[in-house]
Each structure stands twice: as structure tokens, then as C-alpha cells.
Amino acid sequence: MSAYHPLTEQEAIDIARSLSDFFPQDAQLESREIGDGNLNLVFHISDPASGKSLIMKQALPYAKVVGESWPLTLDRARIESEALITEAKLAPGLVPQVYHYDAGLALTIMEDLSDHVIMRRGLMENGRYPKFASDISDFMAATLFYTSDLGLNQQEKKRKVGQFINPELCKITEDLIFDDPYADSPNNNFEAAIADEARALQTDAQLHLEVALLRQKFLTEAQALLHGDLHTGSIFITPESTKVIDPEFAFFGPIGFDVGAVIANFLLNYAGQEHWSEADAREDYREYLLGSIVDIWEQFEQKFRKHWNDYGVDRLANSTPGYQDIYMKRLLQDTIGFAGCKMVRRIVGLSHVADIDKIPDDAKREKAQRLALGIGKSLIKLNRHAESIQELVNVVRKGHGG
């Protein structure tokens, strides 16, 4: 096992060469550090002659987005590589292939997906992805069902809960999503133009009650192995293919947290469509996004129920009339609540999304931020009362006077 130190581009090449048979012996390898996320180094290693390439992702011992003052466990690299291997078994073809994991260097070597684009970027360019709802619902239904007590032997599941204990990464979520936005926290980051809205979040007792209840679920409900950070920056996409990346936040938590993450990031992009000047084009794309959200939820629900009906392992859950319907309704409610929390944090919390931050016009950006906050708050307040995904759609339409 190698001793930990952050790699240079040249060292990444040396490691790539030592991988037996991946590159031709005499390859002239090129290396570029391309990491633009919040936490890690990412090296792209390629051989222009053979066209072969791979990705090396190395955890840093601190959060890159803040600096060395925020130390962070290297164990997240193990969690990520083990989650990717689990997900590849349950949802084949929907995650990058892991070639090698080096625990000492906190380094995962995996398939290069440069022929795909990061979905956040794709949606910002108003791309449409006809296979996405089907692919992401396949991914979520399989990974979440077969790691829950419904689809996995319960003794085995408890051992897996131990394997994926991830306290430091969970704390980031507990603070940045479920606490800071509702307090006068130094971690918060919002524009002066929406200071009134940001301050109002700190005194909204009805909102605080719902967020506290959702936070309790995140803290205590080991329902299934989550991806844990399933936003559109964690998805590589083409119109024909979907690959889910970056499960370093994986742990056993409430299923709605993953489903809500996907929906929240579609809605953040929805709010970001303020950048258009032609109303027809803007509303047309928004309809595409809303239609996708409904498809994602409906396909997820239908596939999760099918896994359950065909392969459920829990006798009482399988055979008790009404149980499955109550379970699925709670998943929908959790999904809506967590989606709302994830929208709010991206507007007033530490880490934002480009869909909104990159709108150059100040007034349009402010309008998008207020829209996202309004939708997020309404979803949080709706969550425990929701009966159908249509209620989420109604909240969104109402949010901008539709």
C-alpha cells in the first residue's frame, strides 16, 4: 500500500503505467488534473495514439471548496469505490467501471466517461435526454430496493450498514442542508439582494418543524444504501446513456433523500430558466423538466413496487394488505420534503449550483433565486400532506404564477 500524499500529474502517469495491460507498454501518456468539484483531485490520463484513457480520483484530506481548515476523512474514497462496486452489481451499465482502488493513496481508478457531459451542464444548455427518466429510475429502484430490508436479508443488511458508516460526510449534509440555512451560520452564502428571504428562513417556525422532522429521518432512518449526493453534477449523460458517479456520501439513510436530490436539481434548473428572453421557449423547456420529474417519480415507484412484488424478502411486508401503499406514500412525502431542503440549501447555503449562479443578469438571477426558494419552502411545507406527485407539480406552477 502506498503512503498518502496528493499526486502530481506525473505521478498519476506513473501509477497508470503500473496498471497491467491497460495502456500499451510504449504509450506516451498525457495527464491533466480536471477536478472542478468541491472535494477531490481528478486526473484524466490518456494515450492519444491508442485512444485509451482512464480517470483517477484522489480524495484530499480536506474539503477543497473551503481549504485545509476543513479536514475531511480519506475513508470517503473507500466508501466511494465500494459503493460503485455495489451499484454496478445492482444497476449494471449505470455507473463507471472501477479498475483499481488504492487505500493508501485514497485513489480510485475508473472508466473515463469523457464522451458524456455532466448533466447539470447539459440541462443548462437546454439538452433533452429521452432515456434519463428510465435510466435513473432503474438505478434508484434497484440500488435502493435491494439494499433495504425489503430486498436484502436483514442480518446481511446490518453488516452493510456497518461497512458504509460515513459520519464526516453525513455531518456535511446535516449541517449544510438541515441546519445552516435556517440559522445565522458563517457557512451561509447568499447575495445581498435576497437577504430578506434568507433572514426570513431563520424565523419560520412552521418550516423549522418540517426541516427538523426531515433531519431526524436523515439522522436515524437506515432505510437503504443511498448514493447520498445524487444531484445533476453527479450524473454523466448523453441522449443514449446515463452514468451515476461520485457516491462518496454513500450511507444507509432514507430513500427519499436520493429521489428528492434528482428532483430538486431538475427544479433548480427550472428556476434557472429565467435566463431566457423568449417566454415561449422558457416555458417549453420548463414543461420538459416538469414532465421529466413526473416520469422519474412514476417510473421509480412502478419499478420499486415490481422489485418488491417479485423479489421481496420480508414476509410481513410482502403479505400485509395496505403496507406497500403506505410505504410508497411515505417515500413520496419524504422525496418532496428532501427535494425542498436541497433547493433551499443551494440558494442560501455554502455550496450553490451553476444553473442559477451563472445567470449573468442580476435581476434575472435574483428572480430565479427567489423562485427556487419559494418552491423549496413550499415543498418542505407540503411534504407530510402530499398524496401524489401532481401536488409537487401544482406547487411549482403556483410558484411562478402558473
CB 25, min distance to Mg ion, A:
34
Distance (Å, whole) CA 294 – CA 132: 12
Which of 333, 328, 332, 335 has the alpha carbon at shortest distance from 305?
Answer: 328
Q: Which three-class secondary structure state does DSSP give residue 205?
A: helix
Q: Pick one of Mg ion, ligand SR1, none as the site partner of residue 351 (Cβ within 5 to 8 A by kind).
A: ligand SR1
Give the residue with the Cβ less far from ligand SR1, 27 or 39: 39
With CB under 6 A as the contact rule, which of the stretches 170-178, 268-276, 319-327, 369-377 interacts with ligand SR1?
Answer: 170-178
Give the residue with the Cβ less far from ligand SR1, 15 or 41: 41
Give the residue with the Cβ less far from ligand SR1, 63 or 293: 63
User: Between residue 35 and residue 74, which ones bind Mg ion under the rule CB under 5 A?
Assistant: 37
Number of neighbouring beta carbons within 10 Å of residue 392: 26
User: Between residue 74 and residue 133, which ones bind ligand SR1 under the rule CB under 6 A?
Assistant: none
With CB under 6 A as the contact rule, which of the stretches 20-28, 168-176, 236-244, 250-258 interacts with ligand SR1?
Answer: 168-176
Decide: residue 120, CB within 10 A, 0-12 exposed, 13-18 middle, 19+ buried: buried
Size of the site for ligand SR1 (CB under 6 A): 9
Interface with ligand SR1, residue 366, by CB under 6 A: no
Give the contacts of 136 (CB within 8 A, at least 6 positions apart): 235, 242, 244, 262, 296, 300
User: Between residue 293 and residue 352, which ones bind ligand SR1 under the rule CB under 6 A?
Assistant: 351
Estimate the crossing angle of helix 362-382 against helix 389-399, to 10 degrees. 150
User: Between residue 314 and residue 373, which ones bind Mg ion under the rule CB under 5 A?
Assistant: none
Interface with ligand SR1, residue 38, by CB under 6 A: yes
Give the contacts of 5 (CB within 8 A, at least 6 positions apart): 105
Choice from 152, 172, 336, 368 touching ligand SR1 (CB under 6 A): 172
Task: Pick out the residues of the known binding site for substrate.
Answer: 229, 345
Distance (Å, whole) CA 190 – CA 168: 25
Q: Pick one of ligand SR1, Mg ion, none as the site partner of residue 65 (Cβ within 5 to 8 A by kind).
A: ligand SR1
Task: Pick out the residues of the known binding site for ATP.
Answer: 40, 57, 111-113, 246-248
Give the residue with the Cβ less far from ligand SR1, 58 or 173: 173
**End-to-end distance of the chain based on CA atoms, in angstroms?**
59
Choice from 34, 49, 65, 165 touching ligand SR1 (CB under 6 A): 65
Choice from 27, 59, 107, 176 touching ligand SR1 (CB under 6 A): 176
Half-sphere exposure of 285 (CA within 13 A, CB side): 23
Q: Pick one of ligand SR1, Mg ion, none as the site partner of residue 169 (Cβ within 5 to 8 A by kind).
A: none
Under a CB-based contact definition with an 8 Å cutoff, are residues 35 and 64 in contact? yes
The sign of the torsion formed by the CA atoms of 350, 352, 358, 362 equals negative
Q: How would you classify the pairing of strands 98-102 and 67-71? A: unpaired
Q: How would you classify the pairing of strands 107-111 and 117-118? A: unpaired
Site string for ligand SR1, 235-254 (x = CB under 6 A): --------------------
**212-233 b/e with 16+ CB inside 10 Å = b?**
eebbebbeeebbbbbbbbbbbb
User: Between residue 217 and residue 276, which ones bind Mg ion under the rule CB under 5 A?
Assistant: 246
Interface with ligand SR1, residue 230, by CB under 6 A: no
Q: How far is CA 123 from each of CA 180, 202, 335, rounded to the nearest angstrom?
A: 28, 31, 21
CB 173, min distance to ligand SR1, A:
6
Residue numbers at the binding site for Mg ion (CB under 5 A):
37, 246
Residue numbers at the binding site for ligand SR1 (CB under 6 A):
38-39, 63, 65, 172-173, 176, 229, 351
